[in-house]
Amino acid sequence: QVQLVESGGGLVQPGGSLRLSCAASGRVFNFYTMGWYRQAPGKQRELVARITGGGITNYADSVKGRFTISRDNAKMTVYLQMNSLKSEDTAVYYCQYSGGSGYWGQGTQVTVSS
């Protein structure tokens, strides 16, 4: 079994920054890809960014140049640094671990509003 615990969400003004963290525990291996997805009200869940065990990253076009994903394999933790936040970034952000059948965190709310 795998547990994913996210933290770092909240309310921020446009142009501000937030850093999300996701700690994985249980039967986890650092060679699996981990990622961040988001779901805004009335929309489908979409990929934000993901990172392989070796550190290869890819991003949604909408966040390129503003968001940075990273991971600490020793801590089995993945991070999402979000800068220059926009109102359209408002969503529930979910951490995902690709091992086994795939696992999801419980989600953390990010609200960008003045």
3-state secondary structure 40-106: CCCCCCEEEEEECCCCCEEECCCCCCCEEEEEECCCCEEEEEECCCCHHHCEEEEEEECCCCCEECC
Average pLDDT rounded to a whole number, residues 5-32: 96
pLDDT tens digits for range 38-73:
999 999 999 999 999 999 999 999 999 999 999 999
Phi, psi of 81 (to 5 degrees): -90, 120
Measured CA to CA, the distance from residue 87 to residue 113 in angstroms comes to 6
Q: Which amino acid is at 60?
A: A
Measured CA to CA, the distance from residue 15 to residue 25 in angstroms comes to 33
Q: Which pLDDT band holds residue 81 (cuts at 50, 70, 90)? A: very high
Q: State residue 64's pLDDT score.
A: 98
